[in-house]
Structure formats: C-alpha cells, structure tokens
Amino acid sequence: MERGVNQRPSLTAVAGGKIIGVAWTRPLYTGEDAQRGVADLSLFAAAARADCVILSWETCDLAIACDLPLAALVPTLNILVAGDDGSHLHYQFPYDEQRLDRPLTQRGLQGAAPIWHEPLLLENGPLPAPIRQAVDQAYERRDSMARSGLEPTLVWMRSHGYTVSVIDHHPLRAADDGSDS
C-alpha cells in the first residue's frame, strides 16, 4: 500500500500439514477474465494435491476487477482457510487508508498506510464467486490434475503470467508410493 498497490489475490496450497507453495494471479482484465484468473489459482492447489488452501485478497480490488457488487463499505484484507471437507474460516481485516505525505511513485501512484479496525471471523459464510470457485475447483480437480503432476501445471501457470513460488516440489510423495524415503 505504501507504494500505491494492494495485494494481488493469492492461493497457498497445503498438503499433509506442509506448505507446498504460493500462487499469485496473473495480470487480469476486468470482468470475466479476472474471475477466471482468480478461479484458476485452483490449478496449483489441485496439482499439489492440497488438502487445505489459504486464499488472500482485498475486497474492493476483487470487486472492481471482477465486476462484483461492492459489498464492503471499508477496504478489507481477507484471508480464507478452506479444507477439503467443505468448511472454511474467513478472516476479515477492515482498514481505512491514510494517504502518505510523500511524492507520487514513479508510476504516479499515491501511497497509503492502513489504519486497521477490529478484525472479523466468519465460519462457513458466503464467499465472492471467484473465491468460491477457486476453493471448489481446488478439490474437484485434484484427482485429474494430480495425475499430470505438479511440474506441467507450474509451466502452464507461469507461461500465462501467474507468479508461483514452490517450497516442496514433491507433495505427499512418500504417502503416494508407499516408501519412506
């Protein structure tokens, strides 16, 4: 925010209690492209055989990019922890922006500092459509995507502009092949 930019939507894939990695959206056009770009974060989780996904996004940015109704009166950072059992915890961190008394960035953007309000926790509540789709597809596509492996998915996502940082390239390897190595 200090540089005039908010967090891009991201998905962290977790399998067997281990963080596999994080994927951030590609550059998006507003409307259907943005909705598809956010939902397709699920490809990483599915290929990683994730049993838990953690998504983060900024409410106003997501609503504007995806042409969704602006549901919050205040900008909000969201963190969603969703298990493959269909349950989720949605942490909301509302804030106001205080403009910084600094010159504009090289891109002409004005920086801001967040003034945080009381956080909220919603359990199994409604989610914005592209976020709901990302969660659902992460688990619905898991069997079919996992057969191809993680590497082809990483190549595809990176070639389409997604940023992906992988911590563990071999999620659940020992559990899959019955070995202990």
pLDDT bucket at 108, cuts 50 / 70 / 90: low
Output the pTM of the full model.
0.86
Is residue 84 within 8 Å of 139, Cβ to Cβ? Answer: yes
pLDDT tens for 29-79 read: 999 999 999 999 999 999 999 999 999 999 999 999 999 988 656 789 999
Token pair of 107 as six digits: 């891109």
Is residue 133 within 8 Å of 29, Cβ to Cβ? Answer: no
pLDDT for res 149: 84
Let me know if 104 is exposed, middle or buried by CB neighbors in 10 A (0-12, 13-18, 19+).
Answer: exposed
Residue 126 has pLDDT above 80, yes or no: yes
Q: Distances in Å between the alpha carbon of 53 and those of 97, 128, 173? A: 28, 16, 19
Token pair of 3 as six digits: 């540089």
Number of Cα atoms under 13 Å in the Cβ half of residue 80: 27
Residue 171 has pLDDT above 60, yes or no: no
Token pair of 26 as six digits: 């590609």
124's CB contacts (< 8 A; 6+ apart) are 87, 88
Q: Residue 75: how many CB atoms within 10 A of its CB? A: 18
17's CB contacts (< 8 A; 6+ apart) are none
177's CB contacts (< 8 A; 6+ apart) are none
Closest CA to 130 of 22, 27, 40, 14: 40
Matching residue, tokens 């592209």: 130
Q: Average pLDDT of the chain?
A: 87
Token pair of 115 as six digits: 């003034």
